[in-house]
Amino acid sequence: MKSVALHNLGCKVNGYEMDFMQQTLQEQGYQIVPFDAKADIYIINTCTVTNIADKKSRQMLHRARKQNPDAIVVAVGCYVQAAHEEALKDLSIDLAVGNNRKKDLVLILEEFLKEWKQGKASCDKTLQGKTVIDIGQTSEYESMQLKGTAWHTRAFIKVQDGCDQFCSYCIIPYARGRIRSRAEEEIIEEVQTLARNGYREVVLTGIHLSSYGLKSGQGSDFSRSRLLSLIQQVARVQGIERIRLGSLEPRIITPEFVQGLAECKKLCPHFHLSLQSGSDSVLKRMNRKYSSEEYYEKVCILRKYFENPAITTDVIVGFPGESVQEFQETAHFLEKVHFYEMHIFKYSQRKGTLAASMEGQIEESVKGRRSAELIESGKNMSKQYRESFLHKEVEVLFEEEKIIGGKSYQIGHTREYILAAYETHENLSGQIFSMVPVGFLQEDILI
């Protein structure tokens, strides 16, 4: 029995795929050990969304090699896909497996191990054409089926892959390929399995979730999206009591779509609408296909059909050419929308994207100041949103115990994804209760 250590970098889609790879390895008799342990095989599921992500991926691969120089080090995923020639030159990497081949990891690994036994020098490092395909030319959805995840109450379910939007700063369409969707019956089968295994909440996720059901070339016609239909089918699965959605494209938000969501009582009122900038001129340079006014209209639609929904977003600061005025437009717009949570990112030049060669690259010190300002603003808005639920009855799905100030609390998320605390020594994990909690957590501080 060979021991395998795994490490995941990046998004929830990567996390889902890593869970599946671990599941298949265990089913084939491999022993899973912690990543900091000495293992026979190290598998790193890489990320390439920014240059920093590339760097972290390389660091983890080098760390694995250092932990056991005689081990087999496997690089999997987006970094390999986007820069496989560079990856294959890395002496820390023995085997590179790109996207849309993760489902075949065990078969690829077994073939590699046969060559490995014959001597390291004779091993074909690339197995080219088998492990790194031309991702831009495939329309096949990589089918996977999970029985469980690291979470015991909430399961992420990948339903879609690829992106056709080609934002000027983003490498993901080149790393993940064009849009493609998973068959609805396969998704429902997986949800039913997870429900039988005790999961109460599922999160539908994808690289560009709003494109679910669309074919490449239809990527901006969200009226054809089958996402609402999928949600309605998932809601019919007995045992599933909550449905959450991953990041949504703002343009999918219409009165008809949101009314359909509101009629689905299992759907949680927690919506992540990626913004990136509140300045129309910056949005245009980013190749985001909406204006700030159109975005705000989408938020208003959500707030019309849902009472005080949680609206979260992503924002990039320091995009090439971002002037002081454009940054202030963004800061004022964020206050106008008043988000529950914001993920603030400093723009990172990504080789291979249009934005990387744009004029007006912003100094890191300026990005740092702008980022710090928006992060502080976001903390204040988030605190205000949490406080709006104080002393009110909320529904909580409990997940774990936490000791705060020497006292024992059961911790779980509300439907809005606010972390709530209830003081008790009783184990409530996996149970859903409507109650007035003691308070809500923000950065491990009880408010």
pTM higher than 0.85 for the full model?
yes
The band of 87, judged by pLDDT with boundaries at 50, 70 and 90, is confident
Residue of 220, 219, 195, 190 lying closest to 205 (CA atoms) = 190
Amino acid occupying residue 353: T
| pLDDT value, residue 148 | 80
pLDDT in tens, 223-270: 899 999 999 999 999 999 999 999 999 999 999 999 999 999 999 999
Q: CA 77, 81, 85: angle at the middle one, nearest 5?
A: 125
Rg of the Cα atoms in the chain: 22
| pLDDT value, residue 130 | 61
The DSSP bridge pattern shows strands 72-77 and 95-97 to be: parallel
> Is there a contact between 5 and 43 (Cβ–Cβ < 8 Å)?
yes
* DSSP per residue, 174-225: HHH-S-EE--HHHHHHHHHHHHHTT--EEEEEETTGGGTTPPTT-TT-GGG-
| pLDDT value, residue 419 | 96
Please state, in angstroms and rounded to a whole number, the distance separating the CA atoms of residues 76 and 95: 8
Residue 129 has pLDDT above 50, yes or no: no
> Is there a contact between 39 and 4 (Cβ–Cβ < 8 Å)?
yes
* 3 burial level (CB within 10 Å; 0-12, 13-18, 19+): middle
Residue 205 has pLDDT above 90, yes or no: yes
State which H helix or E strand residue 61 sits in: helix 51-67
pLDDT in tens, 152-165: 789 999 999 999 99
pLDDT in tens, 357-411: 999 999 999 999 999 999 999 999 999 999 999 999 999 999 999 999 899 999 9
| pLDDT value, residue 188 | 98
Which residues are CB-neighbours of 71 under 8 A, at least 6 positions away?
A: 38, 39, 40, 41, 42, 64, 65
